[in-house]
Structure 1
Amino acid sequence: MKDIIVIKCGGSMIDSLTDEFYKSMKTLKDNGLQPVIVHGGGPAINQMLQNLEIESEFHNGLRKTTAEVMDVVEMVLSGSMTNTLVRNLTAHGLQALGLTGFDGSLLKAKAKNFEHLGYVGEITEVNKDFLLNIISMGIIPVISPLAAGTDGHSSYNINADTAAGNIAVALNARKLLFVTDVPGVLKDQELIEHASVKEIQKFIDDGIITGGMVPKVMAAIDSLDGGMSDVMIVSGKTSLLDGEKLVGTTIYKQLEAVY
């Protein structure tokens, strides 16, 4: 089985991904690596809820996913978001297949806190054999983070960062990449190629990492708790590769892991 790279792409980035990004996907494949894409869809979900005049409440910063909100989440994530990625991958000569967590019982979940958050779930199981079968055919899975309840009836909305981390661990992935709109963590306009969690937290405290980059690096760090030894922040606006080398900031639990 080829080495697997799990790539998490936020909903806000999907329309901004460049030809260079997709071409680098082809290069990864040609170099014997197998991409697996997990995507979010936050901004598009917000827009659709607004268009449909569906109000949603928040609890400690997290949206409560009611049954009505869940219908919209499913429609957006498994519809326009997935289709855009699959269509663009296909246009660049790659075979891709859009999946939700319902397909092949790919993701199973339980409620995180039903009283406060409704149908927001946490993953209890990843059907890695199903995914590996798809990967063995040379197909890139494009996964929207929806999961079936362990009761076989409920549907759950999963945080895309968390889903990507769970899937990467289950597949024993070589790399987990978080796609952003910048090349990685920058200090004085220079790319920081390697950093430990401790150093990243210091960069935040010192104001080197600010604004929208803070939640991105924190999401990457959170995924390390799932069992990955390192994660990478990369740009979706350029190629992922410089030659055969992935370009971005790699964050390690311990920087000693670099050496």
Structure 2
Amino acid sequence: MNTIDIPAHVKASVLLETMPWLRMYSGQRIVIKYGGHAMTSPALQESFAEDIRFLHQWGVHPIVVHGGGPQINAMVKRLDLDAPFTQGLRVTTPEVMDVVRMVLTGSVQRELVSLINRESIWAVGISGEDGGLLQARKTMAEVDGRKVDIGQVGEISAVDPSPIEDLLAAGRIPIISTVALNADHTGGVLNVNADTAAAAVAAAVGAKSLIVLTDVDSLYRDWPECKQPIERIGLTDARAMLPSLDAGMRPKLGACIDAVAAGVRQATIIDGRQPHSMMLEIFTNKGVGTMVVTDDRAQGDSDE
């Protein structure tokens, strides 16, 4: 349905529902982890860019942290490189690391910045390497009780928010690719998980909210039957659920747990396959997806 065809009273009710949330989030920082199908579908890419522009125009400060798994997979295959996964982590040789940097910062990020800037000049792309934004330490995978070297893969050890603060002060929208400096090797870089990087960034900049776009509509208490979607969950229950999740969802819920434990008010997993799902989450009373909050807020039905 075209918006012209929507009755005036319906438009008015939508605006009235939106206004309290606009006031609540105006001047606040929201970190959005951009990934999944939302970053491979042209239509969803465009709707995401529209949402980011809307947030910025209404005084919200969006900070986008993106991955690029599908694009990296495609380039690795095209170059005929060996990059298997071990315990959900990509084995990252120096050659694969070159591909990761090229795809994340040189391709995925540039496309998103260009989309957002089609009607503005607000978005600026930076890498976790820039200004020492992200630092990480090399991690090992554990297979059958033994440690396995998986190359240039790390876990975030520190975030210096100064580059983000500079961009926000200049009225810009930071678009961050998740390549981190190796804290133990000058000049070295590490491939880090974008979900955990987004959580670390959200905590470092004092974000009000972390939103993680993924390819499911919610977490469920009875997976895989999917009859009981979880709208809101406290930290204790979320931690208890974590081991039961599959390898793809575990870092997303883990990131939400980490962010809320570090002081972010709420962290929500939403379905990035639905156009404008981010706007429904932020600016409607019910919201969408699964929100992780502190235990004392787990039974509430509103943000406040």
CA pair 11-234 structure 1, distance change in 2 beyond 3 A = closer
Give the share of equivalent positions with the same residue, in percent. Answer: 35
TM-score of the pair, normalised by structure 1: 0.83
- Superposed CA deviations along residues 63-84 of structure 1, whole A, max 9, x for unmatched, are 2211111111111111221012
Q: Which residue does 2:275 correspond to in 1?
A: 238
CA pair 147-214 structure 1, distance change in 2 beyond 3 A = closer
Q: Which residue does 2:10 correspond to in 1?
A: none
Q: Which residue does 2:31 correspond to in 1?
A: 6
2: CA distance between counterparts of 1:232 and 1:140? 20
SS at match of 1:86: helix
User: What is the aligned residue count?
Assistant: 257
Higher RCO, 1 or 2 (CA under 8 Å, sep at least 6)? 1
C-alpha RMSD over aligned residues: 3.2
CA pair 21-190 structure 1, distance change in 2 beyond 3 A = farther
- For 2:31, the aligned partner's letter is V
Structure 1: segments with no counterpart, 5+ residues? none
Q: Which residue does 2:295 correspond to in 1?
A: 254
1: CA distance between counterparts of 2:242 and 2:162? 39
C-alpha deviation, 1:134, in angstroms: 0.4
- Structure 1 segment 79-98 matched on structure 2, within 5 A: 79-93=106-120, 95-98=122-125
Q: Which residue does 2:234 correspond to in 1?
A: 196
Task: State whether residues 235 and 293 of structure 2, in contact with CA within 8 Å, keep that contact through their aligned partners in structure 1.
Answer: yes
Q: Which residue does 2:69 correspond to in 1?
A: 42
Q: Which residue does 1:180 correspond to in 2?
A: 214
- Superposed CA deviations along residues 115-152 of structure 1, whole A, max 9, x for unmatched, are 61221112222221221110111111111100122333
C-alpha deviation, 1:245, in angstroms: 3.4
Q: Which of these two proteins has the greater Rg computed from alpha carbons?
A: 2
2: CA distance between counterparts of 1:182 and 1:94? 32
C-alpha deviation, 1:43, in angstroms: 1.5
C-alpha deviation, 1:193, in angstroms: 3.5
CA pair 204-227 structure 1, distance change in 2 beyond 3 A = closer
TM-score of the pair, normalised by structure 2: 0.72
CA pair 50-81 structure 1, distance change in 2 beyond 3 A = same
- Establish whether residue 105 from structure 1 lines up as the match of residue 139 from structure 2: no
Q: Which residue does 2:176 correspond to in 1?
A: 143
1: CA distance between counterparts of 2:58 and 2:228? 28
